[in-house]
Amino acid sequence: MDLFLQLAVILVCLFYGARKGGVALGLLGGIGIVIMTFVFNLPPGKPPVDVMLTIIAVVAASATLQASGGLEVLLKGAEKLLRRNPKYVSILAPVTTCLLTILCGTGHVVYTMLPIIYDIAIKNNIRPERPMAASSISSQMGILASPVSVAVVSLVAFLAKAPVNGNVIDFIQVLSITIPSTLAGVLMIGVFSWFRGKDLDADEAFQKRIADPAQRKIVYGESATLMGKTLTSSQWVAMWIFIGSIVVVALLGAFQSLRPLVGGKPLSMVLSIQMFMLLAGALIILFTKTDPSSIGKTEVFRAGMIAVVAVFGIAWMADTVFEANLPVLKATLTELVKTQPWTYAIALLLVSKLVNSQAAAVSAMVPVGLAIGVPPGYVVAFAAASYGYYILPTYPSDLAAIQFDRSGTTHIGKYVINHSFILPGLIGVSTSCLVGYLLASMSGLI
C-alpha cells in the first residue's frame, strides 16, 4: 500500500511541476524527497551528481558558443543549404535542424531556423506545416544522437553501472545505435511531411485567409534571413573550437588508449566530456572577444540550468522511492520486462510527456528499468522513447513553430491532440525505436 502512495506522490509532483514549467519541475521533486524521508521514513537516495556536473559543463560550453556568435556560423550554413534546394525543404529542413542539435547538444537552436524555414516554404508555395512541424520534432529527436547532449551523457553514465556479460555499453556503442536510428526516424518524418496536407492552392482555409490584402501581406511578409549578415573571424574561431572539442570527445570514446589510465583503468568518458567541454568554453573566451557576463544570459544557458534542477529533483526523488522498494518491484515486474521489454519503452514515453524533458525522463526511468531487470541492450534500443512530449503541443519549440507559421497551416486541432506535431512525432519515435532494436540485435546487445 505504501508503494502505491509513494508512486502517487511522484506522479503528482511530476504532473504539477510540468504544468508550472521551468525550474518548478525539479523543485517539486524536493517536496517528494521530504515526504518520502519524513513521512514514509525512506532513506534518501543518491542524486545523480556525475550527470548534473556533466550537464553544467556541456551547457557552459554551448552557451559560450552562442554568446560568441559562433552558433550563427552553423545557422547561416544551414540556411544556405535550404535556400539552394527550396523544393526539398520538407525533407532537408528536419534533417538540418536534427544535425544542428547533434552538433550543439540542445534542440533550442531550432528557434532561429524556424522563421527561415517558413520564409523558404511560403515563398516557394510549399505548405509551411510540412517543414515547420517536421523541423520542430526533428530538432528534439537529435538530442538522443548528440555526443554532448544531457540525455546521452545521462544514459551513458547510468549504463556504466550495468555491465553486460562483464562489459559496459560505452559511449561509442550508444551513439552507434542512437545516431543511425535517429536519422532513420528523421528521414521518415521528412518523407511523410513531403505529402502531408493540402497544397496551398487547394487549401480553402488558406486561400480565404490571403484573399484579404492585409492578411496576405502578413502571410508573405518580409524575408527572415542570415544570408546578408557578415560573420567575423572570432565567430568562425569559436565555432571551430567547439566542433573540435566534440571531435576530440568522440575520438576519446572510440579509442580508449587515448585516455590516461586512472587506477589502472582508462579515464571515464563522463569525466572526459566534462573536461573537454569546460576546455572548449575557456578557449572560446581566450581566443575570441566573448564577454563572459553575456554567457549566463543566453537561451542555451537558461534552458540548461533548468535541466540541471529538473534532473536533480526528479532523479533524487525517483531513486529514493525505487531503491527502497527494489525487492518488491523486482518480484512484481521482472518477469514482465523479460517477456515484454517493449513495456519499458511505453513507460519511458509517458514519463517523458509528464516531465517534458528527455534528460529528466532518462534520469527517472533508466536506473529504475535497469534495477528491475530491463536488459541494458533494450534501454539503448528504445532510447528514442524518452521523447514523448510531442504528444501534447505544449513544448516551446512546437509553440514557436505555430507562432512563426503566419499561414496558419501549423496548428493545434479542435480536440488538442489532433495537432500538427502528433503524426511526425509518432512516426519519428516509432521508427527510431524499431531501427534501434534492429541495430542493438545486430550488435549482440539483445
CA distances 328 to 280, 314, 331, 332, 372, Å, are 45, 21, 5, 6, 9
Mean per-residue pLDDT, 121-137: 93
Three-class secondary structure of residue 46 per DSSP? coil
How far is it between the farthest Cα atoms of the chain?
Answer: 73
* Residue listed under C-alpha cell 510549399: 126
**Using CA of residue 28, residue 425, residue 89, residue 140, what is the dihedral sign?**
positive
**Is the confidence at residue 18, as pLDDT, over 70?**
no
Reported as a single tens digit per residue, the pLDDT across 183-217 is 999 999 999 999 999 999 998 989 998 898 888 88
Top-confidence residue, 334 or 180: 180
Mean pLDDT of 351-358: 78
Q: d(Cα 142, Cα 265) in Å, to the nearest integer?
A: 31
Pick 89 or 417 by higher pLDDT: 89
Whole-number Å distance between alpha carbons of 33 and 38: 8
User: Which DSSP letter does residue 142 get?
Assistant: G
- pLDDT reported for residue 138: 96
Residue 85 in grid coordinates: 534546394
- Is the separation of the CB atoms in 95 and 190 below 8 Å? yes
Q: What pLDDT is attached to residue 137?
A: 96
What pLDDT shows up at residue 281? 94
For position 224, what pLDDT does the model report?
Answer: 67
Per DSSP (E only), the strands in 7-47 are: none
- pLDDT tens column, 278-288: 999 999 999 99
Q: For residue range 104-123, what is the model confidence (pLDDT) as tens digits?
A: 777 877 877 888 899 899 98
d(CA 279, CA 282): 5
Cβ(363)–Cβ(153) below 8 Å: no
pLDDT confidence band for 334 (50 / 70 / 90):
low
Closest to 398 in 3D by CA, of 79, 110, 67, 62:
110
Q: Has residue 333 got a pLDDT over 70?
A: no
Residue % of the chain over a pLDDT of 90: 36
- Give 25's pLDDT tier (boundaries 50, 70, 90): confident
What pTM value is reported for the model? 0.77
Query: What share of the chain in percent tops pLDDT 70?
Result: 96
pLDDT (average), residues 150-168: 81
Looking at the predicted structure, is the pLDDT value of residue 323 above 80?
Answer: no
What is the domain range of residue 230?
A: 2-442
Rounded average pLDDT over 220-232? 79
Q: Which of these ranges, 25-39, 154-168, 296-310, 323-337, has the smallest mean pLDDT?
A: 323-337
Residue 182 burial (CB < 10 Å; 0-12/13-18/19+)? buried
The mean pLDDT value for 405-413 works out to: 87
DSSP string computed for 86-101 = GGGHHHHHHHHHHHHH
Look at the chain and report how many structural domains it folds into. Answer: 1
Handedness of CA 73, 130, 192, 145 (dihedral sign): positive
Q: How far apart are CA 93 and CA 85, in angstroms?
A: 10
Residue 179 has a pLDDT of 96
DSSP 414: T
Listed range (60-64, 123-127, 140-144, 326-330) with the worst mean pLDDT: 326-330
Report pLDDT digits (tens) over 242-255: 989 988 887 887 78
Residues 6+ apart with CB under 8 A from 248: 276
Stronger pLDDT, 356 or 188, i.e. the higher one: 188
Residue 275: its H or E element: helix 269-287
Q: How confident is the model at residue 178 (pLDDT cuts 50, 70, 90)?
A: very high
DSSP track, 213-266: HHHHHHHH-SPP-STTPPPPHHHHHHHHHHHHHHHHHHHHHH-GGGSPEETTEE
- Coil, strand, or helix at residue 12? helix
User: CA distances (Å), 257 to each of 94, 136, 251, 260, 261, in order?
Assistant: 36, 39, 10, 7, 9
Spatial contact of 359 and 309, defined as CB atoms under 8 Å apart: no
- The yes-or-no verdict on residue 163 having pLDDT over 90 is no
Q: 22 pLDDT exceeds 70?
A: no
What number is the average pLDDT over the span 171-189?
A: 95
For 261, phi and psi rounded to 5 degrees?
-85, 130
Separation between Cα atoms, residue 63 and residue 238, nearest integer Å? 11
> Which of 112-116, 154-158, 328-332 shows the lowest mean pLDDT across its residues?
328-332
Cα separation, 234 vs 289, whole angstroms: 7
- What digits encode the pLDDT tens for the residues 379-389? 999 999 999 98
Integer Cα distance of 364 and 315 in angstroms: 5
Residue 264 binned pLDDT confidence (cut-offs 50, 70, 90): confident
> 148 in helix, strand or coil?
coil
Mean pLDDT across the chain:
86
Q: In this predicted model, which residue has the larger pLDDT, 379 or 14? A: 379
Which residue type occupies 198? K
Asked if residues 55 and 153 have their Cβ atoms less than 8 Å apart, the reply is yes
In this prediction, residue 128 carries a pLDDT of 94
